Amino acid sequence: MIPITVIQNGSGKTALLTGGNHGDEYEGPVALQDLAHSLDPGDIDGRVIIVPAFNYPAFRDAARVSPIDQRNLNRCFPGRPDGTVTEKIADYFCTTLVPMADIVLDFHSGGKSLDFLPFASAHVLDDKTQQEACVKAVEAFNAPYSVMMLEIDNVGMYDTTVENQGKIFVTTELGGGGTATAASIGVAKKGALNVLKHAGILKGELDRAPTRWLDMPDDACFVFCEEDGLLEPVIDLGENVEAGQPVARIWPVDRTGKPPVTYTANCSGILTARHFHGLVKSGDCLAVVAVEMS
């Protein structure tokens, strides 16, 4: 059983709000538990579907993937009604909940392996009218950072399924390290309310503050590790970085007196994400650099 709350009043639009797509990401589950408890039906015109723990088995296991079938929900869409547990969850959302929605908000953070600047994002879409509607919803969410992202690996993603159904979609990365902070949860709570107000479902004015727009235009934004080792970060989140500048050094774990391998940024911008654990493996993402938009 996956806990779900549906609050309906009037004939307005429907919002689908989800957290715990990955089970070790906590801003969404906390913010949505609070919303399900506190939202007054008298203050809304429409329907709000709240699912704090989207991938419930993974959430209960504090893991990125389900302990039942070892599947990553965010790579299982559109799912299968006769598939594994994770595929069945994906199918239910794809065929039942998403078609009900006008606007979808899916909370993410870095889980146990990554740490992000707090941002909400929209994706580059073929349908520019839909893309602009998503951008406006991201602006309404009003995270400290807002990101325009070209998704480079979108096969099987919830994002792609929602966008292919023509829905307005907002996703986030609000921190990481397998935990949450008061500040990151505050961003999530404010953002959820702002999205509902933007959609005309919740009464009231948007709570706005300055946001910095960043762009992730291509795969040059990402730096991946090519060996196992001990991570030495060279710069911290939010700092400016130039193309060719070191962002991390990887020391061997089985030898002393040997030099580290240095990894450099592929483009200039702001360090937007970093690997969280002190030990890394080949294939891990070491850093993400985003370009500030003028």
Indicate the domain borders of the chain: 5-215, 218-292
Task: Quote the CA–CA distance of 126 and 134 in Å, as a whole number.
Answer: 12
pTM for the structure as a whole: 0.96
Q: Give CA separation, 45 vs 6, 32, 139, in Å.
A: 13, 19, 22
Residues of the chain scoring pLDDT < 50: none
pLDDT confidence of residue 43: 97
Tokens, residue 133: 């509607």
pLDDT tens digits, one per residue of 210-260: 999 999 999 999 999 999 999 999 999 999 999 999 999 999 999 999 999
Identify the DSSP state of 177.
Answer: T
Q: Give CA separation, 39 vs 9, 36, 207, in Å.
A: 12, 6, 16
Task: Quote the CA–CA distance of 176 and 294 in Å, as a whole number.
Answer: 27
pLDDT confidence of residue 154: 82
pLDDT confidence of residue 256: 95
Helix axes 27-38, 182-198, angle to 10 degrees: 50
Identify the DSSP state of 235.
Answer: S
Tokens, residue 89: 């969850």
pLDDT tens digits, one per residue of 4-20: 999 999 999 999 999 99
**Contact call for residues 269 and 247 (beta carbons, < 8 A):** no
CATH fit for domain 5-215, picks 1.10.1740.10, 3.40.630.10, 2.60.120.1090, 3.30.499.10? 3.40.630.10
pLDDT confidence of residue 294: 73
**Contact call for residues 271 and 236 (beta carbons, < 8 A):** yes
CATH architecture of 218-292: Beta Barrel (2.40)
Tokens, residue 110: 């870095």
